[in-house]
């Protein structure tokens, strides 16, 4: 069993073999692609779910000190929040979510000289 000795810098510990190197991100665009894909998927799924409901009752007790913007999307009923989405909201969420999904898929794939440790390039 190897132990990390104190007093060593991380680079020295990696060279010494006492700690594994940190994983590297292949390209920042792949992170953006994953983020856009996740946002598009969530928007599409929430929008699709809103096609099947008229209102959503949240059993959260609210008082009169709620922020003003909550009254724009919710109303209160016996102290509980009632979300009443507009008729156009499911269509908008599904449309924007699907476009975001398509955009994330259509982003260009970056080409690297060294694309990873398992790539086999013969020069």
Nearest alpha carbon to residue 10 among 25, 1, 20: 20
State yes or no: pLDDT of 97 exceeds 90. yes
What's the confidence (pLDDT) of residue 88? 92
Residue 48 in any domain: the answer is yes
**Reported pTM:** 0.61
Q: How buried is residue 100: exposed, middle or buried, by Cβ count under 10 Å (0-12/13-18/19+)?
A: buried
Instruction: Return the closest-CA partner of residue 58 out of 82, 93, 26, 30.
Output: 82
- For residue 114, is it within any domain? no
pLDDT band at 10; cut points 50, 70, 90: low
Is residue 118 in some structural domain? no
Band (85; pLDDT cuts 50, 70, 90):
confident
Number of separate domains in the chain: 1
With contact defined as beta carbons under 8 Å apart, do 22 and 43 qualify? no
More confident residue, 13 or 94: 94
**pLDDT range class, residue 98, cuts 50, 70, 90:** very high
Provide the residue range defining the domain that includes 60: 26-106
Bigger pLDDT: 87 or 58? Answer: 87
């Amino acid at each position: 069993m190897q132990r990390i000795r104190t007093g060593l810098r991380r680079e020295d510990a990696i060279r010494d073999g006492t700690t594994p190197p940190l994983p590297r991100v292949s390209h920042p665009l792949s992170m953006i692609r994953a983020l856009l894909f996740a946002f598009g998927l969530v928007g599409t799924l929430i929008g699709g779910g809103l096609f099947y409901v008229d209102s959503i009752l949240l059993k959260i007790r609210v008082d009169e000190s709620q922020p003003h913007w909550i009254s724009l999307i919710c109303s209160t009923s016996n102290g509980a929040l009632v979300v009443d989405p507009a008729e156009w909201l499911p269509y908008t969420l599904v449309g924007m979510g699907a476009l975001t999904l398509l955009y994330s898929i259509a982003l260009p794939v970056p080409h690297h000289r060294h694309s990873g440790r398992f790539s086999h390039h013969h020069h």
